[in-house]
A and B are shown apart, each in its own frame.
Chain A
Amino acid sequence: MSPAAGTAGFREVRLPELPSVPRLLAQAAATAARERITGGARPDGLPAVRHTVADVQVDLEQLTRFQHLVGGTVRDTLPSAFLHTAAFPVAMSVLARGDFPLPLPGLVHLANRVSQRRPVHFIEPLAFSAWVENLRGHHAGTRVDVRTEVSAAGGTVWEGRSEYLAKGVFRPGLDSTERPPREDFRPPVPTARWWLGPEAGRDYAAVSGDFNPIHLSTLSARLLGMKRSIAHGMYLAARVLADLEAAAGGSHEWEIRFAAPVYLPAAVALRIEDLAGNGHWTGSRFTGWGEHSRRLHFTGTVSALA
Chain B
Amino acid sequence: MPTVGIVVNPWAGKDVRRLHAPVGHTPDTAKVGIVRRVVIGALDAGASRVVVARDLGRIAERAVHGIDNAFLVDGPGTGSALDTRRAASQFAELGCDVVVALGGDGTSRDVVIGWPEVTLIPISTGTNNVFPTFVDGSSAGTAAGLVATGRIPVASVASTAKRLVVDIVHRDGTTERDIALVDVAAIDGQGTGARAVVRPERIRAVVAAIARPTSTGLSSIAGRTHPMTDADEGGVVVRLAAAGEGRRRLHVPIVPGAFSVLDVMSIDRLAPGEHACFDGPLVLAYDGERECVLGPGAVARVSVDRSGPTVIDVDRALRLAATLHLFDAPMNDAPMNDAPMNEEASDGD
Please say whether chains A and B are actual partners in one complex: no
B residues whose Cβ falls under 8 Å from a Cβ of A: none
A residues whose Cβ falls under 8 Å from a Cβ of B: none
